Chain A
Amino acid sequence: MTANLSTTSAFFALIKRDLMLSYRHRTELLNPLLFFVIVVTLFPLGTTPEKALLQTMAPGVIWVAALLAAMLSLDTMFKADYDDGTLEQMLLSPHSNAVLVLAKIISHWLVTGVPIILLAPLLGLFMFLPAQGITTLMLTLLLGTPILSLIGAIGMGLTLGLNRGGMLLSLLVLPLYIPVLIFSANAVDASLAGLAIKGQIYFLAALLVLSITLAPVATATALKISAE
């Protein structure tokens, strides 16, 4: 009983610490976010300002940019902890490592995923997305970005000990991101055409549940191997 209670408080303490650290390094967080905004705003300049064309491209463009921005931000998840030894201390903690890893993933998502969701309506407007398209876009991002953080954490855990893990990370993680991209962009497309989007949303929700349950365990194991 008391052990469970203290695991919960360690979980929240870790989220709080990571948020505090992110706040003290806020400029680092801006980088992936700027990338997201710049890619989407450059698109109309590079292709055409035509409304109908931009509208059809919007779901894909915004989602691809969000996905790449999420991948850019993965680097900050465990790297610093690995370098300064706090990761070792976390792995040696008597609390469940998977729970602590989940806390780290959640705080990572709060500072990288949530800003993307909040910026999406603005970028949707740039691309002439109508209101129902923007709502669906935000819904898919709300379900999708945590999946990106969770899957990315596994890849990050596996490539942590390597000197140049960046390349390998994209190779590992990108194929797993593709279903999220397909279903999300398709859901936004369908909502633009006035079709039902339940199927895609359920699928994304199922993926989210699956990755929440499995990714922390896999990441904890990967981290243990990397820390050795």
Chain B
Amino acid sequence: MTDAAAGLQVKSISCTRGYRDLFSDLEFELNPGQVLRVEGKNGSGKTSLLRIMSGLAQPLVGEVSWQGRKIHHAESSYFQDLLFIGHKAGIKFDLTPVENLCMAKQLHGSKSENGIEEALYQVGLYGFEDIPCARLSAGQKRRVALAQLFLTRAKCWVLDEPYTSLDVAAVAMLEELFTQHINNGGMLVITSHQPVTLQAGEQYRLVLPNTQLEQVI
């Protein structure tokens, strides 16, 4: 590997569901300041690809590397640099937003100067800190999970359908945050059925089951 490998390398990975090939021989590299939008029909393997990229699932063949090391290598720092938010929000409905974010912060060992209150204010949940998440609306629960984006120092964000059940204002707020993240040299992998309009960085599009990356803009 070259020393220049600063990002995520996906090397000839294949994935199957049952007896069906979702994609095969997928190969690309994502470097700081780049955005990858994964698109495709329902069932085309977007979530499977994201779970492989986040290390939750193993590809059938091939490997994923971070800064030149396999992500599951003992010395890899991938899980310190990764923030994954999947379909399941990953929050406890019986805990308040503050308690949920406290735990998330501990689990990621992140040392961000941004406080939890501040993050909740940013996602528009000011005044809801002490209400159990079960009593929040679907969009508000989503916002609790997404508040992690304000708390993290992770370089690589892997987000599976982050816009689900969010209103227009929240989507605009997220896009602003993404732009900031990209401009700071972060990386973003995102799936969405809604259009994603970012004014920053190099943007690529991967339309499954094609395995060729297209540059947007």
Chain A positions within 8 Å of B, measured between CB atoms, are: 3, 6-7, 9-10, 13-14, 17, 20-21, 24-25, 80, 83-86, 88-95, 100, 227-228
Expressed in whole angstroms, the Cα–Cα distance for A110 and B78 within the complex equals 33
Task: Give the chain B neighbours of A91 by CB distance below 8 A.
Answer: 56
- CB-CB < 8 A to A227: which residues of B? 56
Q: Which of B55, B90, B103 contacts A85 (CB 8 A)?
A: B90
Q: Is B106 touching A84 in the complex (CB atoms < 8 A)?
A: no
Inter-subunit contact A6/B54 (CB<8 Å): no
Pairwise interchain contact B95-A88, C-beta atoms closer than 8 A: no
Contact in complex: B56, A3 (CB < 8 Å): no
Which of the candidate stretches B62-70, B81-89, B167-175, B178-186 sits at the interface with the other chain?
B81-89
- Contacts A88-B90, A91-B56; is A21 near B95 (CB within 8 Å)? yes
Q: A20-B99, A84-B89 are in contact. Are A228 and B108 (CB under 8 A)?
A: no
Whether, in the assembled complex, B128 has its beta carbon less than 8 Å from a beta carbon of chain A, the answer is no
| Residue pair A86, B109 in contact (C-beta under 8 Å) | no
Q: Which residues B93-124 have CB closer than 8 A to chain A?
A: 93-95, 99, 102-104, 106-109
Contact B109 A13 (CB under 8 A): no
Q: Judge whether A89 and B109 touch: CB under 8 Å.
A: no
B109–A95 CB distance below 8 A? yes
CB atoms of A24 and B94 under 8 A apart: yes
Determine the chain B residues whose CB is within 8 A of the CB of A24 once the complex forms.
94
Of B58, B93, B104, the residue contacting A84 (CB under 8 A) is B93
Closest to B81 in A: A94
Q: Which residues of A contact B106 (CB under 8 A)?
A: 6, 9-10, 13-14
Given A20-B99, A89-B104, A93-B109, 13 other A-B residues pairs in contact with their CB atoms under 8 A: A9-B106, A10-B109, A17-B92, A84-B93, A85-B87, A85-B90, A88-B86, A89-B84, A89-B90, A93-B79, A93-B108, A94-B80, A94-B109
Known: A84-B89, A93-B108. A21 touches B102 (CB 8 A): no
Centre residue among B88, B104, B106 by max chain A CB count within 10 A: B106
CB distance from A38 to the nearest CB of B (A): 28
Structural contact, A84 and B88, CB atoms closer than 8 A: yes
For the complex, give the distance between the alpha carbons of A162 and B88 in Å.
18
Choose from B54, B89, B104, B109 the contact partner of A3 (Cβ within 8 Å). Answer: B109
Contact indicator B94/A92 (Cβ below 8 Å): no
Asked if B91 is an interface residue, CB under 8 A from chain A, the answer is yes
Q: Is the CB of A25 within 8 A of B94?
A: yes
**Are B92 and A93 closer than 8 Å at their CB atoms?**
no
- Pairwise interchain contact A85-B102, C-beta atoms closer than 8 A: no
Say whether A94 contacts B79, CB under 8 Å: yes
Chain A residues whose C-beta falls within 8 Å of the C-beta of B51 in the assembled complex: 228
- Cα A94 to Cα B107 in complex, Å, equals 7
